[in-house]
Amino acid sequence: AQSVTQLDSQVPVFEEAPVELRCNYSSSVSVYLFWYVQYPNQGLQLLLKYLSGSTLVKGINGFEAEFNKSQTSFHLRKPSVHISDTAEYFCAVSDRGGFQKLVFGTGTRLLVSP
């Protein structure tokens, strides 16, 4: 069984500051890792994914994440945030291959203020 831990329920940050949202996972098998963003009253939008290869993954909207197998982490970063980045961010894990049975972390609310 897999699990995902997002220790920070809320991260306040000022506009144009850098931000890191933390994600740790637990699994007995190799996994795929994802970050999704959810704006209020919306569905989920994929920010980026790690399937294999380079451990530094670049996604949409200037976000990137680094897969660290030894620390079982997949932290999300952005060098300079905007007000429009205010949203809920979910880290998720799934088995490799076949259809995706996503297991989500509890989410981190990113609050960007001027």
Partner 1 sequence: DTEVTQTPKHLVMGMTNKKSLKCEQHMGHRAMYWYKQKAKKPPELMFVYSYEKLSINESVPSRFSPECPNSSLLNLHLHALQPEDSALYLCASSRATGMNTEAFFGQGTRLTVV
Near partner 1 by CB under 8 A: residue from 52, 54, 70, 114 = 52
Select the span of 16-24, 45-53, 56-64, 79-87 touching partner 1 (CB under 8 A): 45-53
Q: Name residue 113's amino acid.
A: S
Residue 106 is a binding residue for partner 1 (CB under 8 A): yes
Antiparallel, parallel or unpaired: β 108-113 and 10-14? parallel
Please report whether residue 100 would count as binding partner 1 according to CB under 8 A: yes
Interaction between residue 71 and partner 1 (CB under 8 A): no
The reply on whether position 90 binds partner 1 by CB under 8 A is yes
Q: How many residues of this chain interact with partner 1, rule: CB under 8 A?
A: 25
Question: Token pair for residue 70?
Answer: 């030894």
Q: Report in angstroms how near the CB of residue 72 gets to partner 1 at its nearest.
A: 19
Please report, for residues 16, 48, 88, the alpha-carbon distance to residue 41 in angstroms, rounded to integers and kept in the order given: 25, 21, 11
Nearest CA among 102, 92, 90 for reference residue 9: 90
Cβ neighbors of 22 (< 8 A, separation 6 or more) are 6, 7, 8, 73, 75, 108
**Interface with partner 1 by CB under 8 A: which residues?**
32, 36, 41-46, 49, 51-52, 90, 94, 96-107
